[in-house]
Structures are given as C-alpha cells and as structure tokens.
Amino acid sequence: MKRLILWLLAVCYWPLVYAQSDFDIANAAYADGRYEEAATIYQSLLDEQPDATLYYNLGNARFKQGELAQAILNYERALRLKPNYKDAQYNLAFAQSKITDNIADQDFFLSAWARAVRNSMNERTWFMLSISLFILALIGLLVFLLGREPWLRKTSFHIAWIALLFSFIAGLNGASLHKRDTLRNEAVITQGVVNAKSSPDRSGTDLFTVHEGTKVTIRETLGEWSNVSVGQNVGWIRTNCLERI
C-alpha cells in the first residue's frame, strides 16, 4: 500500500519536477548567453501553461537577441497576468524607449489615469474587490435600517453609498479588462517599418508609418487587413505585420 501511494505521488508530481527542471535549464542557458535555446524552452513551457515569470524571462531573452518587438510583446503579456510586476514594467519601459516612432498618445489625462488605475490589478482582483465592497454596502444599509443611534445610522449610510459606488467602479474595471482580454484588440507591430494605408488595399494612400515594437489598438479586421489606431492616427495595415498581446 505504501509503495502504491509513493508511486501515485510520483506520477502526480513528476510533471511539476520536469517543468521546474526545464525552467532551470532555460535559466542556465540564458545565463550562459544561449538566448535562443533559453527562449525556445521558455516558449515550450508557455505553450503548456501561461505564466507571468515565463513571459518576462522570454521577453528578456528576445531583447538580448535584438528582437525588440517580441521583447515588448512578452513584457506586455507578463503584465496582463501580473499587473504590478515591477521588473516587467521597468523592462517594458526601457524596451519602449528604443522604439523609433515618436507618435504621441494625446489622450485626455483623465482617460490615461483611469486606464492606468484599471491596469493596476487583474480582472479577478477587481471582481473580488467589487463583491467585497458590495457586501460592505449591504452591511452598512442593514445597520442604517436597524440602528437606533443617530450617529451610527448616519455613519453606516455614508459607508453604504461610498462602498456601493466603489463596488460599481471596481466592477466596471473588471468588466473592461475582461472585454480587453477576450477581444485581444491590443497588438504589437512585429515588422521593421509598416506604412498605414487609408484603405484596406495596397493602392491606399500612406497615412503614417509605424515601426517594430509599436503598440497599436485593433479596431476591426477585414480579410488580411486590420484597421488600427495609435495615438490619434488611424489606418489600415496588413494583419501579418502585427501580433496580438
């Protein structure tokens, strides 16, 4: 019986041991400067299970290989899974500083701030916060209805409406992230230089140019063309020139 239990434990935990050994091998390859080998192993592990650390390490390996777009893409993917990943944030900012485009994002500062707040936590955390605040609002309402002391009823009333308001905001942020991750409408340009056209065909007028590593938002897709926006610029580029985050 004891042998059977040990055998079952070995079967259950062997994939974890194997994955960890592959992770160590990839890290050793990266440390030795064998970046392509490290990247291949990191990618194979990611094909089995998405992980923020693996995306981050893969981004580092691609950056060392001079593949700026792939580095940015993987840092972005790491931050999708772990928004407060400081190392990924720093390396992403450094990689983006190497982009040759100077297209400014002219969003209203409140929009940029709201987006930064939304991206500060992942979808699950926002929804859990929303539920917790909603429960707090219900408790506050219950105390307001049943309480006898005026100060207690007044305090609980204010707690209830404030908690309800922030519960609604947290829910909106979670829903926004869910929509973003479901549609996957953010992408990174993977070609060296891409001319955005006025229409989804080669004969369209060149509107602006984007370079490798630039982050764009996909508005719609038509055949082999995608309508993208970057800053205040909107145009059509070939879908094979970008990769969704």
Q: Please check whether residues 76 and 26 belong to one and the same domain.
A: yes
* Residue 204, in any domain of the structure: yes
Q: Please check whether residues 208 and 153 belong to one and the same domain.
A: no
* Residue 103, in any domain of the structure: no
Q: Please check whether residues 85 and 153 belong to one and the same domain.
A: no
Residue 191 belongs to domain spanning: 186-244
Q: Around Cβ 55, how many Cβ atoms within 10 Å?
A: 25
Phi/psi of residue 234, each to 5°?
Answer: -135, 135
Tokens 């079967």, residue?
Answer: 11
Altogether, the residues listed in the chain come to a count of 245
Q: Please check whether residues 57 and 133 belong to one and the same domain.
A: no
Q: Please check whether residues 125 and 205 belong to one and the same domain.
A: no
* Residue 38, in any domain of the structure: yes
Q: Please check whether residues 145 and 83 belong to one and the same domain.
A: no
Q: Please check whether residues 154 and 190 belong to one and the same domain.
A: no
Cβ atoms of 202 and 224 closer than 8 Å: no
Token pair in block for residue 27? 């890290």
pLDDT of residue 6: 46
SS3 content of the chain, % helix, strand, coil (to 5): 60, 15, 20
pLDDT of residue 110: 74
DSSP one-letter code for 107: -
**Terminal Cα-to-Cα distance of the chain (whole angstroms):** 49
Q: Please check whether residues 113 and 160 belong to one and the same domain.
A: yes
Q: Please check whether residues 114 and 92 belong to one and the same domain.
A: no
pLDDT of residue 1: 57
| CATH number for 79 | 1.25.40.10
Work out whether the CA dihedral 115, 120, 123, 125 comes out positive or negative.
Answer: negative
pTM here is: 0.79
Q: Please check whether residues 164 and 193 belong to one and the same domain.
A: no
- Is 220 in a helix, a strand, or coil? strand
Q: How far apart are CA 122 and CA 174, in angstroms?
A: 7
Q: Around Cβ 207, how many Cβ atoms within 10 Å?
A: 15
Q: Please check whether residues 15 and 88 belong to one and the same domain.
A: yes
Average pLDDT, 10 consecutive residues per value, the chain (245 residues): 51 52 93 96 95 97 96 96 94 91 59 84 94 97 92 94 97 93 92 93 92 94 94 93 95
Cβ atoms of 68 and 212 closer than 8 Å: yes
Choosing from 70, 96, 122, the residue where a domain stops is: 96
* Residue 46, in any domain of the structure: yes
* Helices and strands (H and E) in the chain: how many: 8, 7
Element (H, E) at 243: strand 242-244
Q: How many folded domains does the chain comprise?
A: 3
* Residue 149, in any domain of the structure: yes
Q: Please check whether residues 43 and 7 belong to one and the same domain.
A: yes
